[in-house]
Amino acid sequence: SVTFTGTAGNNVRTLDITTADTYDFAINNYASGDFEVSIENASSTVTTLVDTTGHTSTTVSKTLAAGTWKIYVSSTGSWQVKVAQK
């Protein structure tokens, strides 16, 4: 698994997937404002995982193809996204 963390603002992280499979995204937001997490594949297709407001703790499962993905996180404070193969 890999864990990404960050603070307020628009954040971009790179996720390298070597094995196509289903992955769990354990997503936590520790701030009270708007919070959005999305992923983008090599073909520039964006999928929203979370779009909410306030403190959040949820897990979203997605099937990912092998390759380099981008994770976009917009938050008003501290956040964490942990990605683990199921």
Closest CA to 40 of 74, 75, 67, 80: 67
With beta carbons less than 8 A apart as the criterion, state whether 53 and 81 touch. no
Give just the sign of the alpha carbon dihedral 4, 16, 13, 57: negative
Residue 65: DSSP 8-state = -
Tens digits of residue pLDDT in 34-76: 999 999 999 999 999 999 999 999 999 999 999 999 999 999 9
With beta carbons less than 8 A apart as the criterion, state whether 27 and 56 touch. yes
| Distance (Å, whole) CA 81 – CA 84 | 10
pTM of full prediction above 0.85: yes
